[in-house]
Amino acid sequence: MRIVFFGTPEFAVPSLQALLRERYQVVGVVTQPDKPQGRSRSTLIAPPVKQEAERAGIPVLQPDRPLGDVFLAGLRRLEPDLGVVVAYGHLLRPGVLSVPTQGMINVHASLLPRWRGAAPIQHAILAGDEESGISIMQMEAGLDTGPVLHRIATRLDPAETAGALSARLAELGATALIDALSLLAAGYAQPEPQDERAMTLAPKIGRESARLNWQRDAVSLARQVRAFDPAPGAWANAGAAPLKLFGAGTSEQAGEPGLVLAADDRLVVGTGQGALAVREVQPAGRTRLTVREWARGRGIAVGDRLT
């Protein structure tokens, strides 16, 4: 089976590695263009999937968007039987979906139809879900609407961050992908239509989505901090500058919303119900540091307010 692989971030790498380890014939990789980094923006950094493909000697296509005659011609030259999509970051149009003769499948980081969309991991944590998982689905023109071939569920740790869950689901996704391909090859796969009544959406996370509202309760604010760790980082204003918060839990202390109640091993801040406690912060223009380090540098003190 000739496979073309679509993917970009670290989340996609275990799936590509699994295909190669199981000796599937990956004839091409489609990923996003190299990104400029550094202060002068002069250094180009290749996506993790491209780096893995180049180590394996696999041809790589890097369109700005997967559109147009030039890209389609390059894709057709690969003569793929099947497309595999893992966290690619672009919706694929019917013209692209129709190129592989056996269609395309997607590795999605939720138990579909729950959390269709770009940020299923973050939304699962925000909602306080007790489980998440991986769905392997057949792709169609809609947003994560295709029939599901295979699912693997996993329990969520109440203290799990988006970064930790993403790493766990990346490995689980690789296992689920190989399982699904085995079912397809053996003729045992039974595509299951999604129940539209159970559908929930997980839209892309914007900066304002990560802003903390101290009028909310401490439990939901702690979820928000975990959902946006490591990126983009849940934040509030400390004075006139934004401050990102990490390592969240709750405290039995109570005080006015936004009021700093403690600043030692933990930063404890009053909320609409209870208090939020965090262990690390990232002031504007600086790296992450412990609350004690920040307080020692007179960055915060009891009685200050976060807004």
pLDDT in tens, 64-112: 999 999 999 999 999 999 999 999 999 999 999 999 999 999 999 999 9
Domain extents for the chain?
2-198, 207-296
| Closest by CA position to 86, among listed 41, 26, 161 | 26
What token pair was written down for 93?
A: 């149009």
- Whether 40 has a pLDDT exceeding 80, the answer reads no
Tens digits of residue pLDDT in 120-164: 999 999 999 999 999 999 999 889 999 999 999 999 999 999 999
Q: Which residues contact 47 (CB under 8 A, 6 or more apart)?
A: 8, 9, 31, 32, 34, 35
pLDDT of residue 94: 95
CA distance 240 to 235: 12
- Whether 48 has a pLDDT exceeding 90, the answer reads yes
Question: Average pLDDT in the 51-67 region?
Answer: 97
| Closest by CA position to 108, among listed 172, 184, 197 | 172
CATH class of the domain at 2-198: alpha beta
The pairing of beta strand 148-155 with beta strand 131-138? antiparallel
The CATH fold of domain 207-296: Methionyl-tRNA Fmet Formyltransferase; Chain A, domain 2 (3.10.25)
Phi, psi of 18 (to 5 degrees): -65, -40
Query: CA dihedral in degrees (152, 85, 121, 232; nearest 10)?
Result: 160
Average pLDDT of the chain to the nearest whole number: 96
Phi, psi of 220 (to 5 degrees): -70, -35
- Its pTM stands at 0.94
